[in-house]
Amino acid sequence: MKNVKIYNVKGMHCASCASIIERTVKKIDGVEDISVNPGTENAKISFDTTKTSPESFNKKLEPLGYSLMLPPTAHDMGMSENEHAAHLGLTQTKKEKLAELASMKHKVISAIPLAIISLFVMGWDILAQFSIVPGMSLLWEEFFHHLLPLLATYMLFVVGKPYLLGLYRFVRYGKANMDTLIGLGTSVAYIYSFIVGAFEETLLKNIPNVSMTYFDVTIIVITFITLGKYLETRSKLKTGDAIEKLLNLQAKTALVVRDGTEVELPIDQVVHGDLIVVKPAGKIPVDGIVTRGNSYVDESMITGEPMPVSKKVGDGVVAGTINTTGSFTFTATKIGAETMLASIIKMVEEAQSSKAPIQALADKISSVFVPVVLGIAILSFGAWLILGAQALGFSQAFSYGLLSFVGVLVIACPCALGLATPTAIIVGVGKGAREGILVKDAAALEKLHNVDVVVVDKTGTITRGKPEIVSIKTLSGTEDENISILAALEKASEHPIAHAIISYTDEKKLKLAQVEQFKAIKGKGVQGYVGGVEYFAGNTKLIQNLQLSFDTTSIEAETLEGKTPVILATKEKVLAIVMVADAIKPEAIEAVKNLHKLGIKIVMLTGDNKNTATYIAKQVGIDEVVAEVMPEDKLNTIKELQSNGKVVAMAGDGVNDAPALAQADIGIAMATGTDVAIESAGITLLHGDISKLVKAVRLSKLTMRGIKQNLFFAFIYNIIGIPLAAGLFFPFFGWLLNPAFAGLAMAMSSVSVVGNSLRLKSKNI
């Protein structure tokens, strides 16, 4: 059986780790696909459960220093499925991450004074060379001469243990990651210095000038790298806090009516159909339908909508939202993992660990980076020995060559490169979630930034989607008779027009007849039998198909004012013409203006009458109207726009627009009600607000800009650093990057990438 699972991975340090894990697991029989995200440290694996298991992945990964965190199942934890869903397992890994952070902090604190001492000695030496300060007295020199090897030993074997393990894995399994580079660089400096220090006297006799040792390099590089990693880990925890904030929205208890009395129960004991009491300022614990009382509920935490929403009997309420001053009772319909909040959390989690297409480049580079860098390091060492020795003499060239070797290894780490895209995506997706913009995968967020055309649905997107009857013209029979027949037909329909008719008859308390053999006629209307007579109701096209003659001029005139006709007829004659009108959403006008400012063209797509649609489009400022389209033609309209080379986003209600949403480069579902599991859309806007569409485009642009800046930061250090460290500029300018500074630059690049991603959080969209 095919299974797709996301696991948290322990032991990941960088992008090259991701590609090592991907390659190792992909080789296992039964694994179809794996994608590892270095930002979230998650691995998404699809595999055949009959052929392999997560345990066998770990068998292969553990020798390499990685392991998948296999979540304890509900059974393991002695919990019900509901309890387990509420638990979600997230708090646990967070706790572990904090523990890891604390131990890194201890290491950093112990390393910094040692680095300061080394920097002091190093700085004094340099200044003394230029006679800015007097040379160190012999006694001090002796003291440091013995102190530095001790400090370096502690640094390499205690603080630098992860890097030594990386080196060990390279030797043992031939797999190199960034720890390997650091481990190799620092231990080469250490061993060289150790040999020089131990055999100084013998060496001095044969080779002049060998007394230079590089213990300080080992100390300073390890300190900077560890400090950089500590800062990076700390910031990475912050980039992902959107999920944590969502988790915190979940109420811990619920006030449930059991045996006629209100009892406060832990959330996981709530079952379907429970009556739940919500007091003023109380949190709504699960999803449900109001059965008594009324109030306003603050849903801003879910939809990003600041205005509290009115809730009466029959309205839906959503877990995680907060009641204002009223009080009400509701029936629980969705609990545990079924709630909207739980599905939002799941969606955000998955989106944050999905890969944006732009990351493919970074992945490709970092997977070949380590071997290439090793090659460059060895080459530059060789060049120093061969070319440098002729100019400078062997011992000098050997020292410089060694510095180059270590410097290249240290500066070239692809760490920042691996973080550039995922950290920005994590922040972007999280930020969206708080604004009611749910991103299903990172690719949708990436594509949205260069969208050319937005195609929108009329009903519900531009108009309120709640049309009302504005006039009724009776041609045969009485008005009440006709209206009750019409309502009987419409009662079975899902179309917004149907609601207009039903709410009218509800208000007038008209009795409805029974409908038999009801059928919806796609794009045109409905038909069915009432009292044994066959009736039709719908637009002019439907009536024309019946070949009935009727006065179209008065209908025409009204459609030019944005009204939609609903014509009731039998096979023989037209009985009544009902005009309905749907008010334009005030925010739609503003949103269209803002989309224009972003250089985006707006096309309105509707099955409604051409005149009606054109009138509404003009009111709102929409560029182009495609009216009277059948549902299956919506897809073709999108295809046509795409064939002109346009990047097309389609915003629709997600139910009957599914094929068009899937065809568009970016499908944007306008969620109405509580259904967020909209499969065919890449992005879902909660509460169907079109002004959020503008925000979504801005969010995408912001995120992409962040990613591009990050990639720049990641590359610039390497592009400048590698030739500098290799000594390419030495023959011309005498420049050679000290490995200690390479360590600093390396740490800086990761920190600036993560810092830049975090900066996106505070930007307004």
CB burial of residue 533 (10 Å; 0-12, 13-18, 19+): exposed
Q: Which tokens belong to 583?
A: 């008010």
Closest distance to ligand ADP from the beta carbon of 686 (Å): 21
- Per the annotation, the verdict on 665 as an active-site residue is no
Closest distance to ligand ADP from the beta carbon of 639 (Å): 18
- Taking Cα atoms as reference points, which of 439, 437, 484, 380 lies closest to residue 728? 380
Decide whether 115 or 567 has the Cβ nearer to ligand ADP.
567
Per CB under 6 A, residues contacting ligand ADP are 458-459, 490, 493, 495, 497-498, 523-526, 537-539, 564, 566, 606-608, 631
Contact status, residue 70 vs residue 55, Cβ threshold 8 Å: yes
Please compute Rg for the chain using Cα positions. Answer: 34
Closest distance to ligand ADP from the beta carbon of 500 (Å): 9
Closest distance to ligand ADP from the beta carbon of 495 (Å): 4
Decide whether 611 or 738 has the Cβ nearer to ligand ADP.
611
Residue burial 566-588, b: 16+ Cβ < 10 Å; e: rest: bbbbeeeebbbbbbbbbebbeeb
Pairing of strands 683-686, 42-48: unpaired
Place of tokens 């800009």: 705
d(CA 747, CA 749): 6
Q: What amino acid is encoded at 137 in this protein? A: S
Closest distance to ligand ADP from the beta carbon of 467 (Å): 10
Residue 38 three-state SS: coil
Q: Which residues are CB-contacts of 605 (< 8 A; sequence separation ≥ 6)?
A: 455, 456, 457, 458, 626, 629, 634, 637, 660
Given the residues 457, 582, 653, 665, select the one marked as catalytic: 457
Q: Which residues are CB-contacts of 631 (< 8 A; sequence separation ≥ 6)?
A: 522, 523, 607, 656, 657
Residue burial 45-78, b: 16+ Cβ < 10 Å; e: rest: bebeeeebbbebbbeebeebbbbbbebeeeeeee
Decide whether 236 or 524 has the Cβ nearer to ligand ADP.
524
Decide whether 437 or 489 has the Cβ nearer to ligand ADP.
489
Decide whether 508 or 610 has the Cβ nearer to ligand ADP.
610
Decide whether 354 or 606 has the Cβ nearer to ligand ADP.
606
Helices 359-383 and 415-434 cross at an angle (nearest 10°) of 160
Closest distance to ligand ADP from the beta carbon of 459 (Å): 5
DSSP classification of residue 136 = P
Residue by residue, DSSP assigns 320-385 as T-EE-S-EEEEEEEE-GGGSHHHHHHHHHHHHHTSPPTTHHHHHHHHHHHHHHHHHHHHHHHHHII
Q: Which residues are CB-contacts of 521 (< 8 A; sequence separation ≥ 6)?
A: 527, 536, 538, 542
Decide whether 239 or 539 has the Cβ nearer to ligand ADP.
539
Decide whether 459 or 750 has the Cβ nearer to ligand ADP.
459
Alpha-helical regions (H) of 449-575: 479-490, 496-508, 540-545, 552-559
CA distances from 420 to 181, 415, 657 (A): 20, 9, 35
d(CA 538, CA 525): 4
Contact status, residue 680 vs residue 661, Cβ threshold 8 Å: yes
Decide whether 427 or 462 has the Cβ nearer to ligand ADP.
462
Closest distance to ligand ADP from the beta carbon of 509 (Å): 22
Q: What amino acid is encoded at 526 in this protein? A: V
Closest distance to ligand ADP from the beta carbon of 569 (Å): 12
Q: Which tokens belong to 468?
A: 């009302």
- Phi-psi label, residue 547: left if phi above 0, alpha if psi -120 to 50, beta otherwise: left
Closest distance to ligand ADP from the beta carbon of 493 (Å): 4
Residue 228 three-state SS: helix
CA distances from 400 to 187, 215, 349, 376, 393 (A): 16, 15, 48, 15, 11
Residue burial 240-275, b: 16+ Cβ < 10 Å; e: rest: bbbbeebbebbbeebbbeeeeeeeebebbbbeeebb
Decide whether 435 or 608 has the Cβ nearer to ligand ADP.
608
Closest distance to ligand ADP from the beta carbon of 354 (Å): 31
Closest distance to ligand ADP from the beta carbon of 574 (Å): 14
Contact status, residue 530 vs residue 515, Cβ threshold 8 Å: yes
Degrees, nearest 5: CA angle 577-582-585: 170
Decide whether 213 or 606 has the Cβ nearer to ligand ADP.
606
SS3 per-residue string spanning 566-634: EEEEECCCEEEEEEEECCECHHHHHHHHHHHHCCCEEEEECCCCHHHHHHHHHHHCCCEEECCCCHHHH
Decide whether 497 or 676 has the Cβ nearer to ligand ADP.
497
Decide whether 89 or 659 has the Cβ nearer to ligand ADP.
659
Closest distance to ligand ADP from the beta carbon of 50 (Å): 44
- Measured at CB, which residue is nearest to ligand ADP? 607
In degrees to the nearest 10, what's the CA dihedral of 357, 361, 362, 363?
80
Closest distance to ligand ADP from the beta carbon of 314 (Å): 22
Residues recognised as catalytic: 457
